Amino acid sequence: MVLLFPLVCFFYSVNIAFNYLLGASVGILYLRILFKDVEKIGVGKGRVGSKGLLIFSGLIIVACRWQHLHVIPVFLGFLTYKAAIMIYMFKSLMPQSQS
């Protein structure tokens, strides 16, 4: 998120970059809630992921209603957490070099 914000700001406008930053920030919040829900699996009752879905749908509704926000940059910013998870997964699957 910290690396991509200046890139978006460079290639697009500052407004688009802040839309991206908003989506990425909500994506991080979603990821934290998802981790907490995964920790509760098998221990407590309740549905996993329902709070995260509420946060995502709230973000998209706010982006659609507020004229200063653009839906596509907010959505792509939200999806940034998925790229981070994929990078982490591939790094953990690669054999560690022994020096």
The model's pLDDT over 52-91, given as tens digits with 9 standing for 90+, comes to 888 989 999 999 998 888 999 999 999 988 888 888 889 8
- As a residue count, the chain comes to 99
On whether residue 69 sits in a domain, the answer given is: yes
On whether residue 72 sits in a domain, the answer given is: yes
- Collapse the DSSP code of 76 into the 3-class scheme (helix H, G, I; strand E, B; otherwise coil) and give the result: helix
On whether residue 68 sits in a domain, the answer given is: yes
Distance CA 26, CA 61 (A): 13
Burial of 80 (0-12, 13-18, 19+ CB in 10 A): buried
On whether residue 95 sits in a domain, the answer given is: no
On whether residue 94 sits in a domain, the answer given is: no
The domain in which residue 79 lies consists of 16-37+46-89
On whether residue 70 sits in a domain, the answer given is: yes
What pLDDT, on the 0 to 100 scale, is given for residue 34?
86
Sign of CA dihedral 51, 53, 56, 59: negative
Total structural domains in the chain? 1
On whether residue 54 sits in a domain, the answer given is: yes
